[in-house]
Amino acid sequence: MQHAVYLPVFGEFADAALLAALAADAERSGWDGAFTWDHIAMWFDAQAPVVDVTVALAAVAAATERVRFGALVTPLARRRPQKVARETATLDRLSGGRLVVGVGLGQNEHEFEAFGEGAELAERGDRLDEALDLLTALWSGDAIDHRGRHFRAAGTFTPTPVQRPRIPIWVAGAWPHPRPFRRAARYDGVVAMLAEPGPFDTPPDVYRDALAFMEPWRPDPDAPFDVTHVHGDPDLDLDRRRARVGPYAEAGVTWWLEDVAPWRWECDPRGPWPVEDMREFIREGPAR
């Protein structure tokens, strides 16, 4: 089991320098990863400050040397794959090959509708599948001529990422909807959650069931495959945190992410953000 911090990107955390400093704290304190959210605007407050995630990840890459990092997850259906390919290849090279690319449909409808991108979920799924095909083709460095339903691209994209054959792709899915898990099986990992009541209430059995469902869809069932659980209620007591991790490891989870978002600290999300409390939590290290 590997352990990572999961950092918000809004409010006081809409600050690339702060996110880089927290990721550096995590690295020094023995965490294996530092991941962020990916949003354009927040669903609960359209006026909340939000950091540009790609710029923030560049700051994280420059401030660290060991930890895995990335955005979990990027709604790839609202992005241009060629731009994402350039950004991610650059981040992977900047970090010496430590980037993870998380992708999904996106759950924040406001981010689509506010900017005229309110496609139906099925169409967004089609766009996501085509964008993934194009993204991996662009990473290859080979000449391509892609003429799809949603995207077109021609030429050769270099330099390529450090990681081969590609940067690891983790696909988000809400269990028990089958399509995102069939999609995840084709790539390198899954960020699974329950469709109801929500991502922070996902019990271990969901991961066990999802892995069993994905196995026949995986091109190589013996290849490494990451399973990510986002834990939404950090506990300062290390013994209690360790007890929570065990059942998830037994169910096949490989990454335990501690969501250190403000409201996990019994604070109103519209009130003061306790950055120093979160920094203290990060510095105490993971619950190995």
The torsion angle over the Cα atoms of residues 261, 265, 267 and 270, rounded to 10 degrees, is -10
For residues 275 and 185, give the distance between their C-alpha atoms in angstroms, rounded to a whole number.
37
For residues 54 and 185, give the distance between their C-alpha atoms in angstroms, rounded to a whole number.
26
How many Cβ atoms sit within 10 Å of the Cβ of residue 145?
Answer: 9
Per-residue H/E/C for 66-97: CCEEEECCEEHHHCCHHHHHHHHHHHHHHCCC
* pLDDT for the residue numbered 235: 61
Q: What is the mean pLDDT of the chain?
A: 90
Site of tokens 């991996």: 136
The tokens describing 4, both together, are 């990572």
For residues 227 and 25, give the distance between their C-alpha atoms in angstroms, rounded to a whole number.
24
Low-confidence winner among 6-10, 199-203, 214-218 (lowest mean pLDDT):
199-203
Q: What is the pLDDT of residues 218-259, one digit of tens each?
A: 999 999 999 999 987 666 577 878 888 999 999 999 999 998
Q: What is the pLDDT of residues 107-143, one digit of tens each?
A: 767 777 777 776 688 888 999 999 999 999 999 999 9
Q: What is the pLDDT of residues 47-71, one digit of tens each?
A: 889 999 999 999 999 999 999 999 9
* pLDDT for the residue numbered 273: 59
Coil, strand, or helix at residue 186?
coil
For residues 157 and 254, give the distance between their C-alpha atoms in angstroms, rounded to a whole number.
32
The answer for residues whose C-beta is within 8 angstroms of residue 171's C-beta and 6 or more apart is 73, 102, 103, 104, 180, 183, 184, 187, 189, 190, 191
* pLDDT for the residue numbered 204: 95
Give CATH for domain 2-283: 3.20.20.30
